[in-house]
Amino acid sequence: MGSSIGKKLLQAVTGLSFCVFLIIHLAGNLTLYGGQDAFNAYVEKLHSLGPLITVAELGLLLFAAIHILTGTILFFQNLKARPTRYRVNKRGGGRTIGSATMPYTGFILIPFIVLHLINFHFADKTNQSLYQILSGAFSNPGYMITYIVAMIVVAIHVSHGFWSAFQTIGANHPKYMPVIKGAGIAFSLLLGIGFGFIPIYLALIV
Ligand code: HEM
């Protein structure tokens, strides 16, 4: 796995796994629209899974480490060989905002995820429910705007990552590529809009 292809493969598999995580995370978060009781019941059910959740969290952490490490190595390798980088961006997909900004949107998401985990995952939940923590956070316009911007960045990152990952794992038959590209755009819009409206909604109903 020392080769560039090996690293790209690792990045594709971990990236697609995050896509699966994000769709589950979004589905769970949509219970917020059902109000305080619906969301807290969902959180309680999730936490009742106990060790399963711990295993999933450790898996996410490991995958994040691999994704960031391989992405950073590939970024510096591509910087050293600029003409190759141009060719990689052009391979069959053309240059898009997503492809041109891929490493930068990725680097921006690292501090966002750290902030996000501090905000909600590691928040002190002894005297308040997760719903109260969320609505408290988004009543602060600074947090609300930070989250909306971060969701746009997530959508841009995924818009290219989704297509690129399928290309790397070999699903690059000309017949399927337009479908995969369309699915990538639809998926990134779903994430951007689905997650992006949550802070606005919670800020409005507080
Ligand atoms: C408005 C959008 C979002 C909201 C309201 C939200 C909400 C939450 C909440 C409440 C938790 C804590 C769950 C718990 O401790 O039981 C959490 C965990 C987490 N979120 Fe988000 N999230 C959002 C977007 C995202 C995005 C876009 C990502 C990734 C890029 C992400 C990644 C994570 C991760 C990795 C965890 C930890 C998962 C775990 O410990 O099981 N979230 N989120």
- What pLDDT is attached to residue 93? 56
The answer, yes or no, to whether any atom of ligand 1 lies below 6 A from the CB of 39, is no
Q: What's the predicted TM-score (pTM) here?
A: 0.90
Which pLDDT belongs to residue 99? 81
4-205: CATH number: 1.20.1300.10
Q: Whose CA is nearest to atom 13 of ligand 1?
A: 121
The two counts, helices (H) then strands (E), for the chain are 8, 0
How close is the Cα of 25 to the center of ligand 1, in Å?
Answer: 7
| Cα 11 versus chain centre, distance | 13
**So where are the chain's domains?**
4-205
Q: Is the pLDDT of residue 70 over 70?
A: yes
The contacts of residue 159 (CB under 8 Å, 6+ apart) are 96, 97, 98, 184, 185, 188
Please tell me the distance between residue 85's alpha carbon and the centre of ligand 1 in angstroms. 33
